[in-house]
Amino acid sequence: MLKVGLTGGIGAGKSEVSRLLVAHGAVLIDADRIARDVVAPGTPGLAAVVEAFGQDVLTADGSLDRPRLGSIVFADPARLAVLNAIVHPLVGARSHELESAAADDAVVIHDVPLLTENGLAPQYDLVIVVDASPETQLDRLVRLRGMTEDDARARMAAQATREQRREIADIVIDNDVPLDTLRKRVADIWDDLQRRAHEPRTASEDGRPGDADAE
């Protein structure tokens, strides 16, 4: 099994890359999706969030009011730490379950938006960073997602810098390119990931293959 961490700044096109990798045969573990699932109505995760933050973080139908919760935690680092202490272990446990269910020779893609920020690179055999210029990110967020320019810039500023992401990358995918070019790049990377997944590995290997393919 090859465990790959996939990350990139908001608007860089990470979701498209993960979709292309899945089309080639990768097993996708989406941290954002799992984070939503573990606090769905009726889960112990949601009960713990309500216990910590009160009934006001619920909508009328009993689901989590994400905007309301966000307004609380992003204004108070201590409250954010409380939320993370609830959600992160649940996400980690579910991710481990899904990974354990994959085939021995699978390429498992962990789609983790905050991989860089949370120092998670050592958990993976390989880290892929989807990279785009700030101008491209801003255009996509405003034009495709309907954000205001101020909101888009604020979200970009809240993440790791482009340089910080590239520093932890084993492979960088340039996504300032046409879709056909991106498809070809991902196909080439998939061939390399398949080769790595099937290579015999010795006990002395630390799992990180180095950065020979970083560009």
Domain co-membership, 115 together with 170: yes
CATH of the domain at 45: 3.40.50.300
- Distance between alpha carbon 147 and the CA centroid of its chain, in Å? 20
Domain that residue 41 falls in: 35-102
> Which pLDDT score is estimated for 70?
82
State the average pLDDT over residues 94-122.
Answer: 93
> Which pLDDT score is estimated for 204?
44
State the average pLDDT over residues 24-36.
Answer: 94
- Do the Cβ atoms of 19 and 143 come closer than 8 Å? no
The residue type at 144: L
Domain co-membership, 127 together with 183: yes
Domain co-membership, 145 together with 199: yes
pLDDT reading at 2 higher than 80: yes
- Cα–Cα dist 35/146, whole Å: 24
Name the pLDDT band for 214 (thresholds 50, 70, 90).
very low
State the average pLDDT over residues 95-120.
Answer: 93
Q: Give the chain's domain count.
A: 2
Domain co-membership, 126 together with 196: yes
User: Which among 102, 123, 152 is the end of a domain?
Assistant: 102
> Which pLDDT score is estimated for 1?
92
Question: Which are the contacts of 45, defined by CB distance < 8 A and separation ≥ 6?
Answer: 38, 39, 86, 87, 90
State the average pLDDT over residues 134-148.
Answer: 91
User: Which among 79, 102, 125 is the end of a domain?
Assistant: 102
User: Which among 60, 82, 102 is the end of a domain?
Assistant: 102
Domain co-membership, 127 together with 185: yes
Name the pLDDT band for 54 (thresholds 50, 70, 90).
very high
- Do the Cβ atoms of 214 and 192 come closer than 8 Å? no
State the average pLDDT over residues 78-87.
Answer: 91
Domain co-membership, 112 together with 169: yes
Name the pLDDT band for 213 (thresholds 50, 70, 90).
very low
Domain co-membership, 148 together with 178: yes
Mean pLDDT of the chain: 90
State the average pLDDT over residues 200-213.
Answer: 51
Domain co-membership, 214 together with 159: yes
> Which pLDDT score is estimated for 60?
93
Domain co-membership, 112 together with 199: yes
> Which pLDDT score is estimated for 148?
87
pLDDT reading at 210 higher than 60: no
State the average pLDDT over residues 180-188.
Answer: 97
Domain co-membership, 113 together with 203: yes
Name the pLDDT band for 201 (thresholds 50, 70, 90).
low
Of the listed ranges 58-62, 138-142, 146-150, the least confidently predicted one is 146-150
pLDDT, tens digit, 9 for 90 and up, residues 56-65: 999 999 999 9
Question: Which are the contacts of 103, defined by CB distance < 8 A and separation ≥ 6?
Answer: 1, 27
Domain co-membership, 84 together with 128: no
- Cα–Cα dist 147/83, whole Å: 25
The dihedral built from the CA positions of residue 118, 121, 122 and 123, taken in this order, carries a sign that is: positive
Burial class (CB in 10 A: 0-12, 13-18, 19+), 28: middle
